[in-house]
Amino acid sequence: MRLVRSLRPAPGSTLALFLHEEQAARGAFDLPEPLRKPVTEAARGLDFKGRLGEAKGTLLAGTGPKAVQFTGLGPAGKLPVDRLGRILRAWASTAPAKSVVSLHPGLLRVPNNEAWAVALRLLTASDRPGQDFQKHPKGELTAGILPPSTLAPVEAGAALEKTAALREGAEVARALGSAPGNLLTPQGFARRACELARHYGWKATVLGPADLKKRKLPGLVMVGKGSENPPVLVRLAAGTKTRRILVGKGITFDSGGISIKPVAGMDEMKYDKCGAATALGALVALSEMDAADGTTVYLPLAENLPGGRAFRPGDILRWPDGTSVEILSTDAEGRLVLADAIHLAAGEKPEFILTAATLTGAMKFSLGSVAAGLFTRVPALRDRLLDAASATGEFCWELPLWEEYDEMTRGEITTLKNSTSGVAGSITAAAFLKAFAGDTPFAHLDIAYTAYRPPSEKKFKGPSGWGVALLAHALREPGD
């Protein structure tokens, strides 16, 4: 759904109000004066209480909106962000073609001054797959939005512009994340990134297998050897000087390689590129906000398949700095392709490096789909990401990255091993990545269970665009 600012509902439109119980009880309808009385009378006539999930509607007399719809949000301050998202997506999927929305929620764990902006972003989130392969997909709805009367026109306009930018980035992430492996190979992903680079004026560099071998970077080359589609590493730079670097894992399909995954759920392994899709989406959003200068994005892209040339358990890889890695599982391939990108990123001496990846299934058991795992040893980076999470409603939570976990990643005959057989899986994966960042301030987000909506939410299954808002907020300069 797209949003346009509206000063008053147009004649013949449907007015949609989302209200907490306290708002309904007080008749606190933040509406233009001519509408307050008829809307208040309609709510009273329907006995609307604002209970969570309550939905009622009626026709309105007069020359303004033809109808009003009320949706309850329950007690103020008790509504989780993900629940609000489900309510708004459900409404948007059946909304009348000519709609105007009034929405002023008090969200759980989101600062009051950010609540309206978060609600706008949730309202614009699509309920369709990122790429719709139906013959006749439903057209997208544009709705008017009534800003709160307490919000200055300039602030309301800025919030809507930011919402549009984040929506654009999220849609890029969702489209790339949902594309099946036969339609989006590593080279296809790279082509799309270069198209966006031309559009936004980024500098794009693409390294193929020969370039990677020349630089003695083994991760992508080895992971991609089992596929007919060769791996690539894409670097996108906004502006002339790199200050912040974001790295996103892009496995366009992950079978697990020789250490092959179970059949059940393997179709979802096309989502293993959601880290790269999210990183690219964040750069799009920053560019739409004219806040991308100084941000560089690395996208290591490969397809992990078994085959006669595929890498094997027991193989040993070596990076230019002398770090050696023994392969214990070819299904722990994400950290290998990220290692190539982090190694190059650290060489640029940025202020910090952030990585985003659908890296470990262990996140299901620690944080589930509510929050991403945050791993860092840099307090300033931790605070930056937690503040961004609070402001956007895309939550992350810090898990330990103590030095004790470094010992668990040590190899017996190599510097590191690429798997710890599930022991502290998410943490040791982050410790593995940290080893390639050296002294550069580093933080990692494991988005394995936030990047796409759970299968139980059948209607909205697929990449959610989660993380675009969080990363765009974290990468902006303070005060932007």
- Is 335 designated active site? yes
Do residues 340 and 229 both lie within one domain? yes
The count of other CB atoms within 10 Å of the CB of residue 75 is 13
Which of 195-199, 252-256, 459-463 shows the lowest per-residue confidence on average (mean pLDDT)? 459-463
Give domain status of residue 153, yes or no.
Answer: no
pLDDT of amino acid 252: 98
Residues 221, 72 share a domain: no
The residue ranking higher by pLDDT, 104 or 395, is: 395
- Listing DSSP states for 203-241 in one string gives EEEEE-HHHHHHTT--HHHHHGGGSSS--EEEEEE-SSS
Q: What is the pLDDT of residue 299?
A: 99
Q: Which of 89, 273, 335, 453 is catalytic?
A: 335
Give a yes or no: residue 466 inside a domain: yes
- On the question of pLDDT at 137 being above 90, the answer is no
**Does residue 82 share a domain with residue 175?**
no
Please report the pLDDT score of residue 134 as a whole number.
60
117 and 217 share one domain: no
Q: What integer is the mean pLDDT of 130-136? A: 59
Distance CA 127, CA 88 (A): 10
Kindly write down the DSSP assignment for every residue of 151-218, as one continuous string. S-HHHHHHHHHHHHHHHHHHHHHHHHHHS-TTT--HHHHHHHHHHHHHHHT-EEEEE-HHHHHHTT--
pLDDT bin (cut points 50, 70, 90) of residue 246 is: very high
**In this structure, are 348 and 434 located in the same domain?**
yes
Confidence of residue 425 (pLDDT cuts 50, 70, 90): very high
Share the mean pLDDT of the chain.
93
Give ∠ CA 122-119-109 in degrees, rounded to 5. 105
On whether residue 457 sits in a domain, the answer given is yes
> Is 80 exceeded by the pLDDT of residue 63?
no
What is the mean predicted confidence (pLDDT) over 99-121?
Answer: 89
Which pLDDT belongs to residue 64?
A: 86
Q: Which two tokens stand for residue 63?
A: 């020359």
Q: For position 135, what pLDDT does the model report?
A: 57
> Which pLDDT value is given to residue 462?
84
**Is 81 strand, coil or helix?**
helix
301 dihedral zone (left: phi>0; alpha: psi -120 to 50; beta): beta
> 148, 182, 206: which is the final residue of a domain?
148
- Count: domains in the chain: 2
Q: 314 falls in which pLDDT band (50, 70, 90)? A: very high
Among 10-19, 188-197, 458-467, the minimum mean pLDDT is found in: 458-467
Which domain does 118 fall in, by range?
2-148
| CATH code assigned at 137 | 3.40.220.10
Render pLDDT for 163-186 as a digit per residue (tens, 0 to 9).
999 999 999 999 999 999 999 999
Do 258 and 334 lie in one domain? The reply is yes
Check the CA dihedral 259-365-53-114 and report its sign: negative
Q: Which of 51, 215, 261, 461 is catalytic?
A: 261
Identify whether 163 is part of a domain. no
The pLDDT confidence band at residue 449, using thresholds 50, 70 and 90, is very high
| Predicted local distance difference test score (pLDDT) of residue 150 | 87
306 occurs within a structural domain:
yes
- Distance, in Å, from the CA atom of 99 to the CA atom of 14, rounded to the nearest integer, reads 5
**Distance separating alpha carbons of residues 201 and 199, to the nearest angstrom:** 6
CATH code, domain carrying 329: 3.40.630.10
Q: What is the mean pLDDT of residues 401-418?
A: 97
Determine the Cα–Cα distance for residues 399 and 378; give it in Å rounded to an integer. Answer: 13
Torsion (CA) 28, 32, 34, 40 in degrees, nearest 10: -20
Q: Chain centroid to CA 207: how far?
A: 25
- The predicted pLDDT at position 136 comes to 54
The Cα–Cα gap between 431 and 436 comes to: 9
Q: Is 249 a catalytic residue?
A: no
Q: Is residue 142 domain-shared with residue 192, that is, in the same domain?
A: no
Contact assessment for residue 99 and residue 145, using Cβ atoms and an 8 Å cutoff: no
State yes or no: pLDDT of 62 exceeds 90.
Answer: no
| Percentage of the chain lying above the pLDDT 90 cut | 81
Asked if 226 and 220 touch (Cβ cutoff 8 Å), the reply is no
The answer to whether residues 130 and 217 belong to one domain is no
More confident residue, 398 or 62: 398
CA distance 373 to 428: 12
Residue 160 lies in a domain: no
Residue 337 lies in a domain: yes
- Please give the share of the chain, as a percent, with pLDDT higher than 70: 95
Q: What pLDDT was estimated at residue 377?
A: 98
Query: Tell me, what's the pLDDT at 181?
Result: 96
**pLDDT confidence band for 93 (50 / 70 / 90):** confident
pTM to 2 decimal places: 0.95
For residue 143, count CB atoms less than 10 angstroms from its CB and return exposed for 0-12, middle for 13-18, buried for 19 or more: buried
Residue 8 has a pLDDT of: 87
Indicate whether 217 and 296 sit together in one domain.
Answer: yes
Q: Per-residue confidence at 236, pLDDT binned at 50, 70, 90?
A: very high
The predicted pLDDT at position 342 comes to 98
- Residue range 250-270: average pLDDT? 96
pLDDT score, position 28: 82
85-89, 215-219, 423-427: which has the minimum mean pLDDT? Answer: 85-89
Cα 433 to Cα 182: distance, rounded to the nearest angstrom: 29
Q: Which domain-ending residue is among 133, 148, 163? A: 148
What is the pLDDT at residue 129?
A: 59
pLDDT in tens, 315-346: 999 999 999 999 999 999 999 999 999 999 99
Distance of CA 450 to the CA centre of its chain: 8
Average pLDDT for 269-287: 98
Identify the pLDDT of residue 130. Answer: 59
pLDDT of residue 127 exceeding 70 = no
Backbone angles phi, psi at 285, to 5 degrees: -60, -45
Whether 254 and 390 map to the same domain: the answer is yes
Query: Dihedral of CA 469/471/474/478: which sign?
Result: negative
Both 326 and 449 in one domain: the answer is: yes
Q: Could you tell me if residue 377 is inside a domain? A: yes
pLDDT exceeds cutoff 80 at 35: yes
pLDDT in tens, 205-218: 999 999 999 999 99
Same-domain pairing of 197 and 132 = no
Is the confidence at residue 457, as pLDDT, over 60?
A: no
Structure tokens at 268: 């979802």
What distance lies between CA 295 and its chain's CA centroid?
17
